Amino acid sequence: MNSTSPSNPHAGTRTLAYGAPLEEARAAMIMLHGRGASPEDILGVAPLIDLGSLIYLAPAAMDGAWYPQTFLRLQSVNQPWLDLALRRIGSLISQVETAGIPVERIVLLGFSQGVCLAPEYAARNAWRYGGVAVLSGD
């Protein structure tokens, strides 16, 4: 599920999966980890909330951070990393949609930095998502 791009350091990172195979899943949850964390960390929540017939996808941020500064700073200090992180989410959503899961059955879940990314992505890309869940953020 990785796509590489020299212009986006997040694009070449790995994506871990848990649950149903993408081709068989009825819905998807994209799980965004926090600063200094990993896809393994956030994906550890999946077995606790597993609803069956879902795929849980956890992309990795380059070097464990989606953007360099706190989200409370001006957005300009987190550029271009913020937009590149949002592009990584969009790419993953496109892959899920291509597999046959409509955006109405895609949930964005974030922890820490992922908390800031999930609703930011949803606000900039206004669709009727299956949900947006936030678990504590900075």
Instruction: Report pTM.
Output: 0.90
Residue 7 counted as domain residue: no
Residue 118 counted as domain residue: yes
Q: Residue 11's pLDDT is what?
A: 80
Residue 3 counted as domain residue: no
For 55, the token pair is 């795929």
Residue 8 counted as domain residue: no
Q: Residue 1's pLDDT is what?
A: 39
pLDDT digits (tens, 9 = 90+) for 94-120: 999 999 999 999 999 999 999 999 999
20 three-class SS: coil
Residue 100 counted as domain residue: yes
Give 9's pLDDT tier (boundaries 50, 70, 90). confident
At residue 116, what is the residue type? Answer: C
73: domain CATH number is: 3.40.50.1820
Domain range for 112: 15-134
pLDDT digits (tens, 9 = 90+) for 12-33: 899 999 999 999 999 999 999 9
- pLDDT beyond 60 at 133: yes
Q: Residue 75's pLDDT is what?
A: 83
Residue 95 counted as domain residue: yes
Residue 93's region, left for phi above 0, alpha for psi from -120 to 50, else beta, is: alpha
Q: Residue 137's pLDDT is what?
A: 55
pLDDT digits (tens, 9 = 90+) for 33-66: 999 999 999 999 999 999 899 999 999 999 999 9
Structural domain count of the chain: 1
Give 8's pLDDT tier (boundaries 50, 70, 90). confident
Q: Residue 4's pLDDT is what?
A: 40
46 three-class SS: helix
Task: Look at residues 109, 108, 35 and name the one whose alpha carbon lies nearest to residue 69.
Answer: 35
Residue 99 counted as domain residue: yes
- pLDDT beyond 70 at 2: no
